[in-house]
Amino acid sequence: MSTNLDKDALPQPGDAATDGPTPLLELRDLHVYYGAIEALKGVSLTVPHGQVVALLGANGAGKSTTLKAASGMLRPRTGDVLLRGERVDGIKSHELVRFGIGHVPEGRRVFARMTILENLKMGAYRLRRPDPTDLERVFTLFPVLAERRKQIAGTLSGGEQQMLAIGRALMGKPDLLLLDEPSMGLAPLIVQQIFEILREINEQGTTLLLVEQNASQALRLADYGYVLETGAVVMSDQADALLSDPRVRAAYLGEAVE
Amino acid sequence: MSLEVTAGKTPSAARLRKQSWYQRPRFKRLVAMVVTAVVMAQVTGVQGVRNDLFYALEENFTGTGIWIWLGIFLAIWAVREFFQDWARQALARVKAAAAPLPEDGTAKAAPGGLAGQVRRVADGGRRLSTLFRGHRAYQAGGLGALLLVLIMLPLMVSTFWQQVMVDQIGMFLLIAIGLNVVVGWAGMLDLGFIAFFAIGAYSAAFWTGGLPVEPPVELNNFLVVPIAVLTCLIAGVLLGAPTLRLRGDYLAIVTLGFHEIVYLTAKNWTEFTGGTRGANSDRFSLDLGFWSYEWGLDPAPYYWLQLAFIIGVLFLFLRLEHSRVGRAWTAIREDEVAAASTGVDTVRFKLLAFAIGASTSGIAGVIYASKLGFINSEMFLVLMSVLVLSYVVFGGMGSIPGVLLGTAILVWLPEYLRDTVDAQDRYMYLGGLLVVMMIYRPQGLWPSRRRQRELRMSQEGTGSADALGAQPGGAQG
């Protein structure tokens, strides 16, 4: 894909230490258990610098579990999580934030009783000296938030809360943004808007790993996609290839099987 | 058969919507006013006697007192119900008169009469408030004046009130400031907070040689304060570390258990603590070589000492509230997962809240033990923990001025009632006040802006008011 080449040519924030073939994030043979239940049965995936990778699958396929393992919220029983070629599994999520991983948790989880501005300032918590241009950047990406910076986050609509959650994660200057179902419970028009903004964020140099139910939107944004089923990767390909794959179309895009 | 009958019957909507006359808000308010009048008549009326159980009730409900109170409260109700529009208009007129003159209206001089008076007063108030807001010097002056009043306070009251201020108000203020960190800022429900106070007091007794066991070195009380604070910090971490995964009710039970452990240790380990027979503690003394002073039986010097400690603690805690630490606590209270995802080390900050909160109890414990010169295990009942918690909630969780005010009022009230009602009944009125307060003003006397917002949002259904963050399952996710 030509767009990939363009993106690779851009200066990447995390590029100094590693360049070339080392991917930004790599999961190797992850096994995660909830008690006796094996939620992930050996998931491996790669997220190259500057790209958008989508994780697709039905409810209970292990998408969110994979993301939680990557963000340090869950500890895999076996398997490695590598960030820029360095093992980071077992590091707590609040520590991983300092390695440049931004996490937009499932269900948005904005600080409902703080204002938008306070939420965003909380997002820059890891930075000793917050950069005022970050705030400008978020407000440029999400003009809605700029208009209402004094409004209490809990009174925002679902879409605005999702935007705030993404904005908050961006305030920590992440190289890699993990998004857990940004389209959850949102109207199609808002979903489209949010995916537009995600594309813009990616074009500005942030790598995205995206968990989605909305396969068509996700694959149109993504460069590469993985399909999970009952805790294992069953399919992975370039996003446009997946988008035209009849099995994917049947299972996730609601088309009749021939 | 019967299933069909119930399924087929639709309840009458009209019947469900119907509101009986006694359910109307106007009548409810009338009942509230009558009840208040009766209570006031009882509070201000004669006291009961032992040999005639209903003497007080009879006297108070047949005399003129009850009619006076009923008259007052019914008048309030009537004004509220029937003259509301009139009162509102009058208020609007006063407001209009008091409003600042428009910029271009300078030609229009202040009107004469009552309206002019109101305007002059309002203008004066505005000038004064801008003066205070605009100039640091005036702010400092105001604070200085307040401080002066606080310093002079013991000289203006009787010895009894001096004792109350030192032994109760001052001591509970220190403890409540600490509990506010745990409950108000970090959002963890602690029912065993007095345990730290006990640890502080016993530290004081131990290091000044009051306990049955000999300390390695006998220390001056001023040196014991940092040691007691350190001991309480360590105890806070010891309590916090195993309980961090718990939240809400579960944490409350654990802290209750912690309190019982500390209390029973103090009570039963007589070889070390003296148990219920108690132990002695030294008084504060200062020896600078050229000048020495010993705090004696007079409460006033203790008051000044305590005031100094409280001001120091307040200075530190007010700074803490708006620091990175304070913001981390707020984030944890709001949403632990989101806090972690923005890089807040939730475990560390919760431990820190426990430890820092416990530290002020250490100071309070040392001062208390030293002031009384004697401690025993019965001073640290679990009731005290509950009382302190109610002071914090009453004043306004998370708001330092609120906590100070709430503690001062709730500690003062039973002592004040000592002269007006039967001594045994004092806490009944305190309980009544708490119930009324929680129904009509749950955010507390002087709530923090954030807490007020939380309650408003929960009424609107957009958030949870439970700042203590109880989540089903008890363990964090």
Question: DSSP per residue over B368-416, as a string?
Answer: HHHHHSEE-GGGS-HHHHHHHHHHHHHH-TT-HHHHHHHHHHHHHHHHH
Could you give the percent of chain A with pLDDT greater than 90? Answer: 59
Instruction: Using a CB–CB cutoff of 8 Å, tell me whether A152 touches chain B.
Output: yes
* φ/ψ of residue B282, rounded to 5: -75, 160
Question: Using CB atoms, which residue from B343, B454, B460 is nearest to A126?
Answer: B343
Of A111, A126, A172, the CB nearest to B338: A111
DSSP-derived letter for residue B101 is P
CB-CB under 8 Å, A169 with B340: no
Six-digit token string for B221: 């009380």
Taking the C-alpha atoms of residue A239 and residue A246, their distance in angstroms, rounded to an integer, is: 13
Mean pLDDT of B177-198: 92
Task: Report which of A168, A159, A205, A204 is spatially closest to residue A186, judged by C-alpha positions.
Answer: A159
Whether A113 sits inside 8 A of B344 (CB atoms) is no
Q: Which of A74, A108, A122, A128 to mutate to test the interface with B (most CBs of B within 10 A)?
A: A122
Contact A126 B328 (CB under 8 A): no
CA distance A158 to chain B (A): 12
Boundaries of every domain in chain A? 2-100+174-252, 111-172
Distance of CA B335 to the CA centre of its chain: 25
* Helix, strand, coil abundance in chain B, percent, nearest 5: 75, 5, 25
pLDDT in tens, B64-88: 888 898 999 999 888 888 888 888 8
**Numbered residues of chain B with Cβ closer than 8 Å to any chain A Cβ:** 324, 327-328, 330-331, 334-335, 337-346, 450, 453-454, 457, 460, 462-463
Q: What is the CA radius of gyration of chain B?
A: 27
Please tell me which of the candidates B343, B454, B460 has its beta carbon nearest to residue A94: B343
pLDDT of residue B109: 53
Q: What is the pLDDT of residue B113?
A: 67
- Indicate whether B410 pLDDT > 90: yes
Identify the band that residue B446 occupies on the pLDDT scale cut at 50, 70 and 90: confident
Q: Where are the beta strands (DSSP E) in chain A?
A: 25-34, 37-47, 52-57, 78-83, 86-87, 101-104, 176-180, 207-212, 224-229, 232-238
Residue A1 has a pLDDT of 39
**How high is the pLDDT of residue B468?**
42
Closest C-alpha to A25, from A132, A204, A177, A161? A177
Residue B447 has pLDDT above 80, yes or no: yes
Closest CA to B283 of B378, B377, B166: B166
Q: Chain B contact for A71, CB < 8 A?
A: yes
CB nearest A114 (choices: B324, B334, B345): B334
CA-based torsion, B462, B465, B469, B470: positive or negative = negative
Q: Is A113 on the interface with B (CB under 8 A)?
A: yes
Q: For residue B294, give the H/E element and its range.
A: strand B292-294
Instruction: Rank B135-139, B159-163, B258-262 by mean pLDDT and report only the highest.
Output: B258-262
Residue B477 binned pLDDT confidence (cut-offs 50, 70, 90)? very low
Q: Do the Cβ atoms of B331 and A125 come within 8 Å?
A: yes
Contact B345 A125 (CB under 8 A): no
pLDDT at B460 over 50: yes
Answer yes or no: do A112 and B340 touch at CB < 8 A: no
Residue that the structure tokens 């080449």 belong to: A5
**Cβ of residue A95 closer than 8 Å to a chain B Cβ:** yes
pLDDT band at B296 (very low <50, low <70, confident <90, very high): confident
Task: Output the average pLDDT for chain B.
Answer: 83
Contact predicate B425/B431, CB 8 Å = no
CB-CB under 8 Å, A154 with B328? no
CA–CA separation, B91 and B97 (whole Å): 10
Mean pLDDT throughout A189-203?
A: 94
* B469 or B81, higher pLDDT: B81
In this prediction, residues B281-300 reach a mean pLDDT of 80
Kindly list the distances between the CA atom of residue A109 and the CA atoms of A99, A120, B52, B111, in Å, as whole numbers in the listed order: 22, 13, 63, 56
> Is the pLDDT score of A3 beyond 50?
no
| pLDDT, tens digit (0-9, with 9 covering 90-100), for A86-115 | 999 889 888 888 899 999 998 889 998 889
User: Which residues in chain B touch residue A93, judged by CB atoms under 8 angstroms apart?
Assistant: 340-341
CB contact under 8 A, B331 and A122: yes
B341, A93: Cβ pair inside 8 Å? yes
Q: How confident is the model at residue B111 (pLDDT cuts 50, 70, 90)?
A: low
What pLDDT score was predicted for residue B260? 93
The ipTM of this complex is 0.81
Q: pLDDT tens digit string along B350-359?
A: 999 999 999 9
Q: What is the pLDDT of residue B20?
A: 81
- A109 contacts B341? CB cut-off 8 A: yes
Tell me the CA distances in angstroms from B346 to A43, B244, B351, B444, one per residue in order.
29, 9, 9, 27
Q: How far is A197 from chain B (nearest CA, A)?
A: 21
- Residues sharing a CB contact under 8 Å with residue B106, sequence separation 6 or more, in sequence order: none
| Rounded distance between C-alpha atoms, residue B269 and residue B247, angstroms | 31
Structure tokens at B130: 């801008």
Domain ranges of chain B: 144-460
* Architecture, CATH, for domain A2-100+174-252: 3-Layer(aba) Sandwich (3.40)
Q: Which residue of B has its CA nearest to A97?
A: B343
Show residues of chain A in contact with B397, CB under 8 Å: none
Give me the pLDDT at residue A11, please. 42
pLDDT, tens digit (0-9, with 9 covering 90-100), for B29-59: 899 889 888 888 877 777 777 777 788 788 8
What pLDDT, on a 0 to 100 scale, did the predictor assign at position B16?
Answer: 81
Neighboring chain B residues of A97 at a CB cutoff of 8 Å: 341-343
Q: What's the topology of domain B144-460?
A: ABC transporter involved in vitamin B12 uptake, BtuC (1.10.3470)
CB of A151 within 8 Å of any CB in chain B?
A: no
